[in-house]
Chains A and B, each alone.
Chain A
Amino acid sequence: MISRRHLLGLPLLLAAGRSLAFGDAARMTFAQLRHGGRWDPRPDGLSRLAWEIARRTSIETSPVVKAIAPSDPELFRFPLAVLSSDQAFPPPADNEVAELRRYLSYGGFLLLDDASAQRSSAFELSARQLMARIAPGAQMQKVGRDHVLYKSFYLLDGPYGRVMSMPDLEALEMGGRLGVLYSGNDLIGAMARDSLGSWEFEVTPGGERQREYAVRLGVNIAMYATCLDYKEDQVHIPFIMKRRRI
């Protein structure tokens, strides 16, 4: 039986399928990592973000989010994965950690989104412990405002989300690119809608303007995942500098 959520998601599916393509393989599909905790705190958020990306940019996205275990070999068909929760999650098994390490080292991109959006939250602690196992000795670093992530499509100036709890995004660099990005402001929560199509959460303190910026940050993350540092090519710099001054 078709659920109400699927029914509401139908327009998204139709919108996403606007062109001929080699099936979902050619489209950007979010992989949501299953873990032992509440791995899907914002069930509609990533689909909504996929729809926004397809609506706003030339990227073709799939509204279907692939829920997948870190140890599943299929994970390598989804170069952009999201790990989220609003609480602590049990430490993954060693083989899962090893797979995640391989995934990231061969070019995968992992977005860690703290749905609790609280400083020093249980999720943050779990996430940092996981990172310490994936990349021993490496530390996630703040992402500077001049990083290409803040200009990969929209010109942005902050780590927007449902709340503005953390002043910066953090990231783990791997092979000259960001391999892991940590958002402590419930980025996906800002895009979640309930079963009736209403925004599921209020966005504070900036209200709807902040929600829009959160969507834009989500778009920029997707753009960075597919284009890397394209916007740092020399040809873009004068245009971007001029617009930054406006």
Chain B
Amino acid sequence: MPAWVLALAATALVAAVWFSFRGVRGEPSKGRRALLLGFRVLAGLLLLALLFEPGLELRAESRVRARVALLFDTSKSMKFPASPGGPSRAEELQRWSKDHAEDLGKLASRFQLDFYGFDKELQPLDLSRLPTDPQGPSTDLLGAVTGAAANGTGGRPLAGLFIASDGSDNADLGSGVPAAAVQELRKLDAPLFALPIGAAAAKDLAIEKIAVDDFAFVRNMVTVDVFVSARGFPVTDVPITLTRDGQPVAQNTVHLSGDPARGEVKLSFVPDRTGKFAFTVKAPVYEGEAITQNNQKSFVLKVIRDRVRVLLVVGRPSWDVRFLRQLLKRDPNVDLISFFILRTPGDDPHSTQDELSLIPFPTQEIFQEQLKTFDLVLFQNFNHRPYHMSQYLDGIAQYVRDGGAFAMIGGDQSFSAGDYAGTPIEEILPVTLIPPGPTTIDETPAKLILTDAGLRHPVTELSSSAAASWAKLPELPGLNTTGPLKPSGQTLLQSNQGRPVLVVGEAGRGRVLALLTDSSWYWSFVAAGESQGPRAYETFWHSAIRWLVRDPALTPMSVASERPSFEPGTEAPALDVQVRGNDYQPVPGAKLQVMVTSAEDPVPHPLGAAVAGPDGSARVALPPLAAGAYKATVTARRADGTTVGEADDAFVVAPATRELTEAAPRPDLLQAMAQATKGKVVDTGEQLSGLPWRDPALVEVGQRTSKPLWDNWKVLVLLCLVAGAEWTLRRRWGYA
């Protein structure tokens, strides 16, 4: 019944009693007035009872036992020390659970306790089996809390949550608790009490992230973006160093202020050679840091060529020069720097110097200052003597031994005719030279024959039928004469009289090529006149340049790590090796020895061995390694002990996730989460049973019965008696 009806009826009752009372106001006896009034009020009430039908409802009630979710961090970061030099965070947590056994018992007497372990996932936990060596790959605090809140057993109401963690979240809360997360936590409608573990070791400096491309171009500046974070540090400048093979290549300083502090620093350097290298970014380790492993981070960078930088030095313009220059200039992969001797000291231009376009030959600049910037140096029919270049020849030879490339192209000013016998250039050439004289040139026409070595070599691989392709090319008008071939040299092309035409070899870490003719242009223009086209010439020179500069696709022996990065301590790095000799033939049965160096330990350690299979390939598994940047050098030897070749590759051993690198304790995160739920951070000694858990608001309704109070004869009899008594008394006392 609506409340206003009740109010109206009550008002009407009061008014009726009042008006009836006015009739007996003159009664001098207070007792009679009161008695009459009492009977009338009682009669009115009984009348109302008859009108409103009041009754009693009987219900059976019992309060539900609420639940408390208790979450314990089982991620890997819990393996780090809880305090500098102290037990691990996991051990600290175990100790807490033992110390609080009685406390938890008390809490269990009031609430249903649900225990969870959490890391990347949430799972039920037996508290007596809390792991001392947690293996969770990552930490998701928000996911764990919301998951535990939703997972309640039997639909019991949530009295609250308890979380024990280092707070080192690497999911949604990595950079703080955002507003959306706060909203989500408020929706739980239950307090969260947080126990920060390892808060005493909150001081930590970390290389959080490195941003760099997978590859870079040699001689082009590379910039590495390094993101640094620090907690528990005063305002400070931190020096950051970038090293390659343990040697610093760049350094910069990052300014950190605030707590926690984040900073970014750029490290730039110019790679001077191609290959795959392991780089390490390092920050100093400060006293009292929670984790020292994250003060450095390694990465692998592949340095490639954008363009092959070729220095072409020409003793005299000729058709051979003209066609080679045209080929190199057209090649978008070649950056050609050329110097032609257009006028010798004996020439008379019949003009002043200012009427000529000639420039001085910048020997010092080219052969001393700029030499190392070139991938390949080509001497084309160039005699060094008139230009006082003897002083630079040693530097050129050293440049080659250090990994450069050199080719000498024939002519009347080249090889023995160019007076290179006995010079450092002869030392690196794959052929020996003879003293200058009339025998240094042989004008007998030379028909080309591809040798056995040439059949397999990428430089002379013109087509699937290379031997026939070479044999069809125009014969050459003559050849430079040399002495015997050096042991390291390989003749790829020879004349029909057996004289070498094309010889390749290695000098130190560099490669050399000797083309003993000044008429390779015959393979282009003259061949075109014979309806063969210039394809042979172009293919030959492109292949020769790629081989000379060690294009990875043309390297006889190669090694490649299975992946650029491996997990520390658990994963065995694997290397795939292909063994081929300098003749590009597979070497089955070659014994492989793997020597490994690291940025921290430059001393080579033998860590693997294998034997090449029938196709010259092998896979070598190294033992699991500690985190770091590594270089593996594989040496292949034949059964007789002679070396086939050597190749290397770089790889990194580092955790794949941020769990172990961004593992500093984050009590601030736990504090913010607790605040969002009107909970709080508790300390180690605080009793959980004494915390203000939330009592359940809901009751369980069982049996319900209703008993009407008016629906019986006693009420009616009572009403008649009261009304009759009131009427009788009024009549007796003289009222109408």
**Residues of A at under 8 Å CB distance from B?**
19-23, 25-26, 28, 55-60, 73-77, 79, 102-103, 106-108, 151-155, 176-177, 212, 215-216, 223, 225-231, 233, 235-236, 239-240, 243, 246
Contact = CB atoms under 8 A, between A and B. Distances in A.
A34 B525 CA distance: 21
A117 B676 CA distance: 99
A23 B350 contact: no
A239 B477 contact: no
A222 to B, nearest CB: 8
Main secondary structure of the interface of A (DSSP, over half): helix
B529 interface: yes
Candidate in B317, B329, B359 with the most chain A CB atoms within 10 angstroms: B317
A153 B528 contact: no
Interface stretch (B40-48, B435-443, B462-470, B568-576): B435-443
A58 B412 contact: no
Nearest to B479: A22
Contact of A154 (B341, B355, B526): B355
Nearest to A54: B347
B319 A230 contact: no
Nearest to A21: B412
Contacts, number: 156
Interface of B: 315-323, 325-326, 329-330, 337-344, 347-351, 354-359, 362, 411-413, 417, 438, 440-441, 443, 476-479, 517-519, 522, 524-526, 528-530, 533-534
Nearest to A106: B528
A79 B533 CA distance: 15
B337 A223 contact: no
A233 B519 contact: no
Given A58-B343, A228-B325, A230-B338, A28 B354 contact: no
Contacts of B362: 235
B602 to A, nearest CB: 41
Given A76-B528, A177-B326, A233-B338, A59 B317 contact: yes
Contacts of A215: 350
A22 B325 contact: no
A103 B349 CA distance: 31
23 contacts: A19-B413, A20-B438, A21-B411, A22-B476, A25-B522, A55-B348, A58-B342, A59-B318, A74-B529, A76-B525, A77-B526, A77-B529, A106-B533, A107-B534, A108-B525, A154-B357, A176-B330, A226-B317, A226-B318, A227-B325, A227-B340, A228-B326, A243-B354
A73 B412 CA distance: 27
A101 to B, nearest CB: 12
B322 A102 contact: no
A243 B518 CA distance: 34
Contacts of A73: 529-530
Interface centre among B341, B438, B478, B479 (most CB of A within 10 A): B478
Given A58-B344, A154-B356, A177-B326, A106 B524 contact: yes
Contact of B322 (A20, A21, A225): A225
A228 B477 contact: no
A235 B343 contact: no
Contacts of B316: 58-60
Nearest to B529: A76
B357 A233 contact: no
A57 B349 CA distance: 7
Contacts of B441: 20-22
Contacts of A227: 317, 321-322, 325, 340, 342
Given A73-B530, A106-B524, A223-B342, A20 B440 contact: yes
A212 B351 CA distance: 10
B128 to A, nearest CB: 78
A153 B417 contact: no
B519 A22 contact: yes
Contact of B534 (A55, A60, A106): A106
Contacts of A246: 354
B162 to A, nearest CB: 73
A58 B341 contact: yes
B318 A28 contact: yes
A229 B339 CA distance: 12
Given A21-B441, A155-B355, A227-B340, A79 B322 contact: yes
Contact of B356 (A55, A76, A155, A176): A155
Contacts of A75: 529
B440 to A, nearest CB: 7
B326 to A, nearest CB: 6
Nearest to A156: B355
A55 B343 CA distance: 10
Nearest to A246: B354
